[in-house]
Structure 1
């Protein structure tokens, strides 16, 4: 990741030496992204399509800076004597010419490659651990965004002030790398986006779902296709089944597929089976976990329960993306529909760039990637990029990367033993202090 960016920044005075781009995000990927989507620049420009791809990714890394500031600070535009600066209109036109497709292609290609790297170091009984959940993002309040994405409606009839994007992500639990994503209108159910992601789930995986995704169409579609693809999901309070064998604490159960589901997907069986494991969450509440891991000797009930406890790490990845990277500026920059989609794919790629660098540093330090502070790693990468752009340290790229890895290893998370923080929903902080008016009794 940084090999790419640093090489590009160090050589910004001259035409970029594309052949020297680093190993994390090869130039071949970027060139293929713009070529296969038909967005390659046909004439010489200060911001050719390949440079604009880097710009969109960099905008996510420097969320609180304007587009012009990012271009100037990182020298992303090709040099020109007659026009030392790039106008705002030229940048907007360059992003419009690029569109969404190259960023989507780049994210999907890089995510598949990065998630398959070093996966053997983070297996659970030979299976890669994944988690699927949904989230939302707020867009600028433009007529185009409101018409395309929609907004939240309240029981009173009021409509939210900003349009919103609803999305579902498939995330690798050990590294927090986003493996795949789907998003669109806010009023579309998360189940619709989840169905589009299920066919792309890799083989030899265990995917942990939130109970909102409990549906035969999703879970049976996962296990019936591919090789060795399994699920783990909590049962709903009204889920009904018949015990086939086992004990109340660990049993094989059979559930009926609803007629409505079979009408939508005629290939579904009339009944489907799963393993039901009784568990108690940290708050002392009882729940039942349903899984396709039916081999009791290989997959102990206690191990499966502990594995489900790691599912909440996907919430941490959302916090890292939406609060740490975006700095709680939850409204996206773009005012056009295609610009919003482009920005989201760029943000996901930028997040994965940070996460893959953390994963590499964790392997060198022989620790878990989650033991390295994301916030401090994110800030370190920002500082290194700026430092390289200012100093133009020719020939020192390997030393810069080695120093970055060492700094990432040195900022491990410090966890106090015995500390436990309950999951609670807190009120949004007020921007201004609340003035309390006191009544004066006369």
Structure 2
């Protein structure tokens, strides 16, 4: 079943096996990533493993296209691209090609929330009910994903907080994760992560019709029980979607406009938004679902669901962006709120958003763990600890990657489009390729050439 497959793609995150290698700190700290000798090298020569990965996926007809963008510090990023926007199409791809980034929306929504904390309009440990009163006195399922009946419900032992929403510890569910009765209840109330396609069958598989507005989404969610006690464990959820409504109420501005005014415009992210304009269809990619290894189109540019105004801006999975734009977001994070000469937000806000925000009430087995490794969680993205310290970012349901290592200034974005994401391990292959090329540069770069 597709829901189970998507859920496994979240829970199995095989790319995290490589994240220790992303912290190739000594290499990044000592390499001369500027100067005439470095400039003479082409992107494919500088990043040969990444170039081979990008070409390999496209040449094997696994995906129609792939774009990688890698930058260091505040320097200009390299772009490696291959393929066409759709299978059988003629339009090439580059750093300005548009992709559905799905859950890579979450760190953007997370930072927007932290900016309001920095403004003094929200507090990290503020009860959600202070902003949205309907979330007072929540009920919780005794048996996870069990029946929604009186004998399987108990009162929440603590209120949901803003911190909980940022870190997926509020106890909220997700239609791409839950398989029990709560899944049907979420669908009935329009508590879905977004629209994937205008195809009726595809939309039914991916969650059904969304609520008509963010306010309706929040109200419908408040009527349903939590799947875990708040603050006890990480569980992938609609928490970042709900924060879109929190941002609206706290700021007095609609969510999409807030992102445009406070993040996209100052960062120079001119290609990022919740819909694609008709004049931009020529740089928009197709999205494909793999059936028996065969890519079947589920959302093509000319008839895409993203050409229509969404029911509401989905803060958990709704954005379309380009490799250039998302790299600018990561560049701003690497600059602790500054990109080029623009102060987008304070260093304190970025430091908070990219730090481990897990609550102290978390159960001993409640952290975000994959392949025997424990990670922290910040404002909508994973946070590296120990040997991965400085790492922050997240991934998208159609194979996209957006990671920054603040400690060393390494930022890397990958754009492609296929579902389900766990059909191939591109989200593990890409960080490994970046790490391999960083290590090669550290070994081979002649220090005297400049």
**TM class by smaller structure:** under 0.3
Q: Which has the larger radius of gyration?
A: 1
Calculate the TM-score normalised by the size of structure 2: 0.26
Structure with the greater relative contact order (CA < 8 A, sep ≥ 6): 1 or 2? 2
Calculate the TM-score normalised by the size of structure 1: 0.27
